[in-house]
Structures are given as C-alpha cells and as structure tokens.
Amino acid sequence: MDKTRTQLYNGSVQPVLAVLIGQSTGFPNGLDALLGHLSSEADKIMFPKETLPLSVIVAVHHEPYIDGRVGELSCYCNRLQPKLLEDGMKVGRNGVYFCQGRKKTGIDKYHSFAEVQPQDGSFGPNIDFLFITAADYFKRHCPSIPIISVILSGNEYDGARGALYAIRPEKSLLLVQDPEQITKGGNSMPLQTLERLIRVERGESWEHIPDGILPTEHTLRDYKRLDAVRNGKVIVTVPEKMGPIIIRKMRENL
C-alpha cells in the first residue's frame, strides 16, 4: 500500500475514487461543509498534505460571473486546489474541478478531456449530463474506481437521473443531502433523487422515468425502506458527514 500511495501522490496513477457533486439552490452552503470535513478527516489520518487520491468534479447551477470565485473554495479544502474546467482540459487526476456557469460540460469517455459547450435551457451547468458522461469515462478506463455521486440542495430535478446512472457499478455509492435537514428551501433535488430510487426499486426502468417527477407525500417514509438504503449503497445524511464517508471509502480502495 505504501508504494501505491507514493505513486498516487506523484500523480503517476489514477486516483482511487471519482466523486461527482451536484448542487443548485443553497450553494455554497453544504459544499463548503463537505469539502471542509473532507480536509479535516484527512488530517486526522495523517495523509500527506500535498493531495488526496481523489478526482472531484463539481457541477453547480450558477451564472458565469461566479466562475471567478471558484478559487475562494480552496479555503475549505487546501488539499484539492479547485480548477475551472476549460474545453479540452485533461481531468481524472487528483484535484477538484468546477464546471463553468451556464455551460454544458461533459467528459469525453475515450480521452477524459472536458467538453465545454454553450448551455441550452435554464439549468447550467447540466448536472445529469456531467454525471453520465463522467461515469462513462471512469467505467470505461478505470473500472476498479468506485464512483461516489453526491446530490446536495437544489430546487430543480437536474441531477437525479445522472446520480442513479453513476452508482450502477457494484462498489459505487450515492450520498444525498437529507431533505429534512434543509431548512432554507432547496430540498427538491434530494427529494427527486429519492423518488426516482423508489421507482427504480419498484421495477420502473431508469431510462423511462420522466424528468421532473413529483415526490409524493410518502417519499420521505418510503425511501428508508429501500434495499439500496438498507445495504449502504445509498446514504442520506448531512454534508458534514459526507467528507468522512468519502475518506473511509478512499481508504477501503487503497
């Protein structure tokens, strides 16, 4: 394992986890807590300061004028210096990458280059598109790397479809911000994700569930009975606990 760690920190091999994060309303609350606790948990286990063996790709619905503030997030996680994804940028190595505002960003599944295009429609960047294309890349080139998809707060449905797609591999994991703990609005994205999980376990096909499904009054009750929740494939929790979960998964895969 020591040799593997040395290779990871020298950047000579791929990271041991791919973490895909989607958020809308509520940003940066939640994301800052996740990144901050990710750093503090890594400090506890005395990982070298240079980096963490993670590739973190973040899609947050925002306007382009916020792009310049991405660097400010480094105060929450000094191990994963944030970078703004540019068209043709190589991703998949250790680091945290942010999609540009109002741009459609995906990952080329053959070469892991970012593909950044003008965004059509109201959501930008498109979380579903990022999750699906990134998952295709990692599953094609790094099948041993678990994918952790994370759905944080938001008032839209974008991300629910992509999150379910990204956790199809056996060792992958879905973290959903607890909608009952979101106090200032923005629980629609987590609820949409949980309702989609419920429908898939009831036998509906992933591809045919429409976007923008309405969670029912029983969503918060029914999701707790899901096999995926009971066996730990899906964890509904607060952002502060997501960092330690990611570090634990990282250590399992080293």
**Tens digit of each residue's pLDDT (9 = 90 or more) over 21-77:** 999 998 888 998 998 888 888 888 777 666 678 889 999 998 888 888 877 777 777
pLDDT value for 107: 92
Q: Which CATH class is domain 2-253?
A: alpha beta
Measured between alpha carbons, how far is 131 from 150 in angstroms, rounded to an integer? 10
Q: Is the pLDDT of residue 8 over 90?
A: no
Q: Where are the domains of the chain?
A: 2-253
pLDDT value for 10: 47
Q: What are phi and psi of 23, to 5 degrees?
A: -155, 155
**Tens digit of each residue's pLDDT (9 = 90 or more) over 98-127:** 999 888 899 998 888 888 888 776 667 899
Query: How far are the Cα atoms of 73, 83, 90, 236 from residue 69, in angstroms, in the given order?
Result: 8, 11, 21, 29
pLDDT value for 5: 47
pLDDT value for 51: 65
The type of residue at 241 is K
Residues 156-163 have a mean pLDDT of 92
